[in-house]
Amino acid sequence: MDGHFFTEISLLLALSAAVAMVMRALKQPLIVGHIFTGLIVGPSLLGLVQSPETLSFLGEFGIALLLFIVGLGLNPKIVKEVGKVAVFTGLGQVFFTVLFATVLTRALGYSATESLYISVALAFSSTIIILKLLNDKKDQNKLYGKISIGFLLVQDVLATFALVAASAAGSGSLGPVDIGILLAKGVALVGGVFVLAHFVIKPMTNFLSRSQELLFLFAIAWGFSMATIFYELGFSLEIGALIAGVSLASMTYAQEVASRLKPLRDFFLVVFFIALGSGLDLGNLLDYLGPALAMSALVLFGNPIIVMAIMGVLGYTKKTSFKAGLAVAQISEFSLIFLLLAQRSGSISDAIVGVVTVVAIITIAISSYMITYSDKLYILFERYLTLFERRKVKKEREENRAYDAILFGYQRGGAEFVRVFKKLTKRYVVIDYDPDAIDILERRGIHYMYGDATDLELLDEVNLEKAKIIVSVMNDYHSNLFLLGHIEKLNPNIVFICPAENYDQAAELYGLGAAYVTMPHYIGSEKISSFILKSGLHKGEFKKHREKHIKYIRSHFEDAFSSSDEA
């Protein structure tokens, strides 16, 4: 990579930032701004992109990171919850879209072969765009978000086979034996990844977690390595990265890994969307506009209706079905790659690629708005959606990540707070990044999350603003200051308790709004002083108190003692 490309990417990012600021000021989805930036710098307008291959290459890192992070969040519980609806909806939507699109394209005058290729292209939706929009809305853990991710991943598996079929179409080499070999390779690969993760990676997690830098580096190496292996053996990078993430999803540090990878993912995704926009040629827009509008209407309105109908039959509410249905209201980057492969084999003409490219521009732009403003659209169309809802619907319980009490740190007095939270029957979580503390919490069956108190992604994940009390037993004064400042912005009514080492620290924390600041040495001295006043100077009284204190320490810290003994 030379200085020329560095200058090029710098200019593209500067222009992207400027467009993003305009989009933010206009309250528009940033993803549309990134694609629009690509259109501006692409061959249709300014022609600033001189290294499209390198730009696309960098964008692939964003795709791999995005799917890897999604995989880290797909633990077995989520797969069990949405697996059935994801498979039925994913397969059903592709089948019916291909069916209706074939009827439409034949009516527009395309041949049977051309209609088949166009119909398949219109059936696949963009996992990358939907995941980015769901993440921006923080809806990836809502029921409709999990279902959307599920059936889009089913589509990705189907898209992999479609790409293989398109590649082999020219040579006529794809037969039942080839499909069987591909399936066998896929099963062997997935099985191998999970065996490796369980028997090799899992025993190493405690070692890896002792260095945040090592954990970060290992996660990137694992995700990219698995993605590369899948790609080299005939599958897509996306599938490989996803499986790599799923294989680590049940491990203790999955949340921390995902959190640290997100900034890197966001950078590369910006490059990906610029590359996507720059590859869209508007040269013959008017020539293709008529059929493109008809196909766009099918994708924008027909695909969501198909999903709503299928989910309605499965018993989901009209709101969940509507919001999930919007996830298929655009075509995928896979669609354009699929048609380009078919074009190279001589199965379709350049004109068809041009038409579907215009469909991509229209549907990606409009669907981004539809998903961003899905709540308002639902209110607008709610009375018309009863048709897609059965009289008896499933009981839908959204995952509630809100906690009444949140405890930061555990080893320095946190056990006492956990005991209080349990007695008060409050929903609580302990957040810690000390591997030894995590081991103790896991052995005791205490609900925990691994992470850093200053990680904004993690703080968003636990919905700090909905907590009633937040306690920190961390000795890091600056981390406590950060937490207090963040909490005061979100909800000043939250009770915040934290320690201080001296009077000056306590005074500042109180001044910033802390409900109570503990000073461990002062509290310990105050407690023993009260005991002396009450019991006098008789050693016998101290002996009783000593035995009681030893019993208390052992009951609360026996795990810590056993850990140090093992070490």
**Residues 431-459 pLDDT 10s:** 887 777 877 887 788 888 877 888 777 78
Determine the pLDDT at residue 407.
92
What are the strands, taking DSSP E only, across 298-453? 405-408, 428-432, 448-450
Please provide the distance, in angstroms rounded to a whole number, between the alpha carbons at the two ends of the chain: 48
Six-digit token string for 339 = 């048609």
Determine the pLDDT at residue 556.
55
Determine the pLDDT at residue 563.
43
- In whole angstroms, give the CA distance from residue 499 to residue 518: 4
Q: Per-residue confidence at 236, pLDDT binned at 50, 70, 90?
A: confident
Which residue has 């790409």 as its token pair?
163
- In whole angstroms, give the CA distance from residue 519 to residue 506: 8
Let me know: does 92 contact 70? Beta carbons within 8 Å.
Answer: no
Half-sphere exposure of 286 (CA within 13 A, CB side): 0
Q: Is the Cα dihedral 118, 331, 147, 233 positive or negative?
A: positive
CA distance to 160, 203, 412, per residue, from 190 (Å) = 15, 20, 42
Q: Could you please report the per-residue DSSP string of 507-533?
A: HHHHHTT-SEEE-HHHHHHHHHHHHHH
| Rounded average pLDDT over 481-500 | 89
Q: Per-residue confidence at 552, pLDDT binned at 50, 70, 90?
A: low
Let me know: does 328 contact 303? Beta carbons within 8 Å.
Answer: yes
**pLDDT score of 186 more than 50:** yes
Q: Which residue has the higher pLDDT, 274 or 567?
A: 274
**pLDDT score of 120 more than 70:** yes
Strands laid side by side in the 405-408 sheet: 448-450, 428-432, 405-408, 469-472, 495-499, 516-518
Domains and CATH numbers, the chain: 3-388 (1.20.1530.20), 405-518 (3.40.50.720)
Q: Among 62-76, 210-224, 549-563, whose mean pLDDT is lowest?
A: 549-563
Determine the pLDDT at residue 176.
67
| Rounded average pLDDT over 348-357 | 82
Determine the pLDDT at residue 285.
64
Determine the pLDDT at residue 405.
92
Q: What is the pLDDT of residues 17-48, one digit of tens each?
A: 898 898 888 777 777 788 788 888 877 778 77
Top mean pLDDT of 94-108, 147-161, 495-509, 525-539 is at 94-108
**pLDDT score of 379 more than 80:** yes
Q: Per-residue confidence at 483, pLDDT binned at 50, 70, 90?
A: very high
